């Protein structure tokens, strides 16, 4: 699976343009996803030196990305003189997701199991039992 991951607010706390404090288990989870065979792409608004700092931060912690702000290594990231373009990924991990950023342990379990996340998982049972009517009860 190709997984695009934001940096500020997702791997580290928001402190842009500085690098914020690490978000617990972010780099450990990313290393495991890479070990599991996923292509992890850093997807950030950072550019130039600020982007290089983010890549170096992750590299120092053992996270080496498949690509950075591109779909694959070596791809030109220029479109009509601008660096922004649509990234192709199977999954995007970003603190600005609808519902916010789940805990990195939850993120890993979602990817590993293939089950979607809902912030109401603990409040709502996964399977709602179907009530039988009186005839179904009689025949069962």
Four-CA torsion 120, 123, 127, 132, nearest 10 degrees:
-130
- Token code pair at residue 137: 């009860």
Confidence of residue 80 (pLDDT cuts 50, 70, 90): low
Determine the structural domain holding residue 15 and report its residue range. 2-139
Burial 66-91, CB ≥16 within 10 A → b, else e: bbbbbbeeeeeeeeeeeeeeeeebee
Cβ atoms < 10 Å from Cβ of 39: 18
Alpha-carbon gap, residue 21 to 88, rounded angstroms: 28
Q: Give this prediction's pTM.
A: 0.74
Alpha-carbon gap, residue 114 to 39, rounded angstroms: 16
Provide the domain count of the chain: 1
pLDDT at 123: 46
CATH of the domain at 69: 3.40.50.1000
Tell me the pLDDT tens digit for each residue of 24-75.
999 999 999 999 999 999 999 898 999 999 999 999 999 999 999 887 676 6
């Amino acid at each position: 699976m190709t997984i695009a991951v934001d940096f500020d607010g997702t791997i580290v706390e928001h402190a842009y343009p500085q690098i914020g404090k690490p978000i617990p288990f972010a780099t450990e989870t990313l290393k495991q996803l890479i070990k599991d065979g996923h292509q992890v792409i850093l997807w950030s608004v950072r550019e130039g030196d600020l982007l290089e700092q983010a890549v170096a931060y992750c590299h120092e912690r053992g996270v080496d990305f498949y690509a950075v702000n591109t779909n694959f290594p070596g791809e030109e990231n220029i479109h009509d003189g601008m660096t922004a373009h649509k990234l192709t990924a199977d999954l995007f991990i970003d603190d600005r997701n609808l519902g916010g950023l789940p805990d990195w342990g939850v993120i890993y379990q979602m990817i590993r199991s293939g089950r979607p996340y809902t912030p109401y998982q603990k409040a709502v049972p996964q399977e709602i039992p179907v009530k039988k009517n009186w005839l179904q009860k009689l025949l069962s």
